[in-house]
A and B are shown apart, each in its own frame.
Chain A
Amino acid sequence: MIDELQKTIALAQKLGGEFADARFETQKAKQINVVNGSIRTFSSIQRSGIAIRVNYKGAWGLASTTTLTSDALKAAVRNAFKLAKTGSTYSKEKIRICETASLKRKSTVKIKINPENIDTTEKLDFVFSLDEAQKTTDKRIVNRTSYYVESTKNFELVNSFGSQLEWNETRTSFSAMSIAFESGKRELGSDNKGGTVGFELIKETDPHVFGANVAKEAVEMLSATKPPNGLMTVIVDPEIAGVLAHEVMGHASEADEVIRHRSFLSDAIGKKVASNLVTMVDNGTIAGAYGSIPFDSEGTPSSRAVIIEKGIYKGFMHSLETAAALNSAPTGNGRAQDYNRRVWVRMTNTFFEPENWKLEEMISGTKEGLLALKAISGMEDPVGGGFQVRALKGYTIKNGEKKDLVRGFSLTGKALDILKTVDAVGKEFQLSLGGCGKGEEDWIPVTTGGPYMRAKIIAGGE
């Protein structure tokens, strides 16, 4: 397909495009879902298509098609150019693109066991074992849901700087969720695991232990009580720390939000935004992490972008366009969901770096507060810098001791107020996988994480 892509770029340039790239993607995925001991879905997806972008006088045109004939590609280039030209009638300024060296590379993902080479029976047995483990743990478990997902994407990319790249990404993941019921009350437990890894993830996991732990959590939650409300000392676990890193500080550090004046961190570079204990990065190069990518959707190699270093705000994440606009280097954060979605500045693996505290020391040093565990959801607020995360559960802390288990609650406040009050950062470190949307769509695989952290945060729940 590379030759066809080259031809589209040549045509885009001939038409007058100032910059153009063409990306061909094929996707293969398999998913198994077992609910309450029976298979609910066993599905396979194979998609492929091309996205062609052309930049002309301050506007982009993007055309995408799943018809892969030469004629269809030519029509798509002409269309992309026409779309850019239409948009450019309103443009006040030219879009500059950060000119990169012409890269010619082929990169193959390093996985130990290709899931495609594994017999289906083994995959089914794993998911059924997850299910069985939940069932046999406690009679109060009324619903079990278990998933296995494998996916491989192959990319070919050509741009008008002369780059010619081929790479692939493989991800394998699984999850389990139990619902416990007693005396009219329903509670849940859940967990997942995954990465840019192959079937070795499954071989290295004991589904009986994993499933049983999820079920135990759901049952344990039946005895949880009402959480406390108000501003208090909260120790957040790595998952919740990760939501703060990703949803608030991360989204506001995406340079396209900065350029659009939608980031509360627009003028933050060089300023003190957090306590000295806080260092935060986005790192797309971590081997095996779910959000890692060899190249972004513009062909820039992924990198480690430092966002906060010892409390000082350092910089943003960039695409080719934002790097040129802000006179920075591209960081490999221009990502698109797939061939029929646009590129935005997006995160990869975003987290707070660990320090030296043990969790026990943080708890014993807290007179009254809350230990917040497991993030269920969170929401971005790049404009206002507001933080919201929903925790699955928590424990009250009284006189330095972990006390009562409490039901799910939310944590909120202004991110910078919270980060300035961070007075303890743990040594245990964990990344959690998930999907990140921008504007409630365009979902991409990421991880978020960090260590346990202690700060002043508003908590609320019923």
Chain B
Amino acid sequence: MQELDSLASLALKKGEKKGVEQIEAFVLRSRIRSVYIEGSSPRLADDKSETGLGLKLCLGKRVGFASGTLNNEKNVEEIVNEAVSITRTSKEDPYFKSLPNAEEICGEVKDVFCKETERITTKEIVAKAMGVVKAAEKTKNVKVPLGLLRLANYSLHVTNSLGVRFDHKGTMVFAHFTAKATNGGKAGEGVEKEWSTRIAAIDFERIGESIAEKALATLKAETFKGKFKGISLIDPVEASGLLSVIEFATSSEQVNKRRSPWINKLGAEVANKELTVEDDGRYLGGIRSALADDEGVKTSRKTIIEKGVLKSYIYDSYNANIAGAKASGNGFRRGTRSIEGAFTRPAICAYSNMIVEPGKKSPEEIISQIDKGVFVEAFATPEVHPVTGGFSCEVRNATLIEKGQLTKHVKHALLTGNMYDQLKNVAYVGNDVKIVDSFVLPTIAFEGTTLVG
């Protein structure tokens, strides 16, 4: 099989011969290796290789996208033919203007590719996963029923007929482990997730200790009864789900399509002054960090919310053209937990790395200042309706805060509120920072949420 750039060039040449006006090729080659722990031992190890092409063609304002795996070189022609057929039969998109133009991409981005992560053997991956099991099962009555350690290394090449040429090589590591604590007929579960571009950055012993501790806490937790309105302090992994409304509301796709509640709100207060949010496509060790996005548009660091004031939206090339703005390096296909199949979708408007500026206090100091509240470590799913902002999330593991102290473990309750309102009631932002998918964020506290049992 040829190199990625020559496969992409071949696709461009074949497309141009068919008379298309603009064409973009995205070629991805990936190798993904995982170890699944089941019942405290490695049950399955996998090794998966894939090469694929995603092709966008433009004939005037008709745009089509076709993609496929590259099992052999003949597939390039088949994908081109399919893309041409789709584009010719499609209807015009009056909003489409152009693919991105070529620009100089300079600077550097660190910690996105790690040789050690690429070269580590399966035996070593298994040993690291078993390190979590060993650390967790030091605690009495705790077992690790399920765990996943996944490493990916990939190369991508994006090119278009307007001169864009971009290559990127990356690695990503995702760990997701679960411990179960039992006592008689009762059970409690503790979960940890970690993201990194480097295997060495993950402390497997700490994950094991943490899931054991969380499982024990959930085991002790009692069903919460009653109702109170107060401060909720949210763990970064769970907070990322709640703050996903910021990604929705500041996405130029949602603004252009009038789905966002923050249309015409540039310069307005959308949060309180505790909250500053940036998008940084070159964040050190960020999962999506690269010199350019998946359309080949250069990435940068930009302020989205500054002390509560909305400063900018994020733009992929399609939506930037509609808004008369400059594409901000926010056209992505790559996922943050794995990379396979990324060539099957056209780039969409998304954050590279959403950075929530950390505060000055540690989570412990924040707890000491809360008179009445709840510290939520696990929701069933931290889901917010992006259009309305409404949320009511099931609490699976939380601890009540009374007079500056963590007191009783609780579960089976709902934390309710409206996230667009809650952003105006951010009470504290912690100084701890964690990479969670495409977020880099600390523990965060909101005033005025309701806990219902």
Q: Which A residues lie at the B interface, using CB under 8 A?
A: 30, 35-36, 38-49, 58-68, 79-80, 82-84, 86-87, 89-92, 95, 120-121, 124, 128, 142-143, 145, 179, 181, 186-188, 229-230, 256, 259-262, 264, 340, 342, 376-377, 379, 381, 383-384, 386-388, 390, 407-410, 412-414, 439-441, 458, 460-462
Contact = CB atoms under 8 A, between A and B. Distances in A.
A187 B418 CA distance: 13
B46 A63 contact: yes
A230 B187 contact: no
Given A260-B38, A260-B146, A386-B394, A60 B414 contact: no
Contacts of A80: 47
Contact of A462 (B145, B227, B418): B418
A59 B452 contact: no
Pick the 8 closest A-B CB pairs, nearest first. A410-B392, A388-B394, A460-B414, A260-B145, A62-B46, A46-B68, A379-B380, A64-B48
Given A59-B45, A441-B338, A462-B418, A42 B227 contact: no
Contacts of A128: 91
B394 A67 contact: no
Contacts of A36: 257-258
A83 B46 contact: yes
A460 B392 contact: yes
29 contacts: A36-B257, A38-B93, A42-B90, A43-B86, A45-B68, A46-B67, A47-B67, A61-B45, A65-B50, A66-B50, A66-B51, A66-B52, A67-B49, A67-B71, A83-B47, A86-B42, A90-B126, A128-B91, A187-B388, A261-B145, A340-B340, A381-B380, A383-B187, A390-B385, A408-B392, A441-B338, A458-B453, A462-B390, A462-B418
Contacts of A145: 257
A179 B387 CA distance: 8
A353 B411 CA distance: 30
B282 interface: no
Contacts of B145: 260-262
Given A38-B95, A383-B187, A390-B392, A43 B452 contact: no
Interface in B340-355: 340-341, 344-346
Interface in B5-43: 32, 35-36, 38-39, 41-43
Contact of B64 (A38, A42, A261): A42
B45 A124 contact: no
B381 A91 contact: no
B50 A461 contact: no
A143 B257 contact: yes
B65 A60 contact: no
Given A188-B387, A262-B178, A460-B414, A409 B68 contact: no
A229 B69 contact: no
A458 B412 CA distance: 10
B189 interface: yes
B69 A49 contact: yes
A461 B188 CA distance: 26
Interface in B46-81: 46-52, 63-72, 75, 78-79
Given A43-B67, A143-B259, A460-B452, A386 B412 contact: yes
Contacts of B123: 86
A143 B392 CA distance: 25
A162 B381 CA distance: 43
Interface residues of B, dominant DSSP: strand
B126 A458 contact: no
B94 interface: yes
Interface string B148-178: 1000000000000000000000000000101
Nearest to A42: B90
B83 to A, nearest CB: 7
Given A66-B51, A79-B47, A261-B143, A439 B388 contact: no
A264 to B, nearest CB: 7
B146 A230 contact: no
Contact of B42 (A45, A87, A414): A87
B71 A48 contact: yes
Given A384-B411, A441-B337, A260 B39 contact: yes
Interface string B250-284: 00000001110100000000000000000000000
B411 A388 contact: no
B440 to A, nearest CB: 20
Given A42-B64, A46-B79, A87-B126, A412 B414 contact: yes
Given A86-B126, A179-B259, A386 B452 contact: no
A114 B399 CA distance: 55
Given A124-B89, A260-B145, 18 more contacts: A43-B67, A47-B52, A64-B50, A67-B51, A67-B71, A82-B122, A86-B122, A87-B44, A87-B45, A261-B145, A381-B396, A386-B412, A388-B380, A409-B392, A412-B412, A441-B337, A460-B414, A460-B452
Nearest to B148: A439
B98 interface: no
Nearest to B150: A441
Given A48-B69, A63-B46, A439-B146, A384 B396 contact: yes
A278 B46 CA distance: 40
Interface size class on chain B is: 35 or more
Contacts of A414: 223, 412
B388 A59 contact: no
Given A83-B122, A179-B387, A460-B452, A64 B49 contact: yes
A261 B223 CA distance: 22
Given A87-B44, A462-B450, A40 B93 contact: yes
A338 to B, nearest CB: 8
A35 B126 CA distance: 46
Nearest to B125: A86
A92 B413 CA distance: 39
Contacts of A47: 52, 67-69, 341, 344
A339 to B, nearest CB: 9
B288 interface: no
A407 B345 CA distance: 34
Nearest to B70: A66
B45 A84 contact: yes
B405 interface: no
A69 B49 CA distance: 14
B68 A42 contact: no
Interface hub of B87, B126, B143, B218 (most chain A Cβ within 10 A)? B126
A68 B45 contact: no
A259 B416 CA distance: 35
B44 A342 contact: yes
A383 B180 contact: yes
A264 B412 CA distance: 15
Nearest to B178: A262
A256 B94 contact: no
A421 to B, nearest CB: 15
B416 A460 contact: yes
A27 B350 CA distance: 27
B187 A384 contact: yes
Given A39-B91, A186-B388, A262 B180 contact: yes
A143 B261 CA distance: 12
B387 A68 contact: no
A229 B94 contact: no
B46 A462 contact: no
Contacts of A95: 43
Contacts of B66: 43-46
Which residue, B72, B180, B390, B392, has most C-beta atoms of chain A within 10 A?
Answer: B392
A47 B82 CA distance: 13
Nearest to A461: B392
B290 interface: no
B327 interface: no
B120 to A, nearest CB: 12
B42 A66 contact: no
B175 to A, nearest CB: 12
Nearest to B145: A260
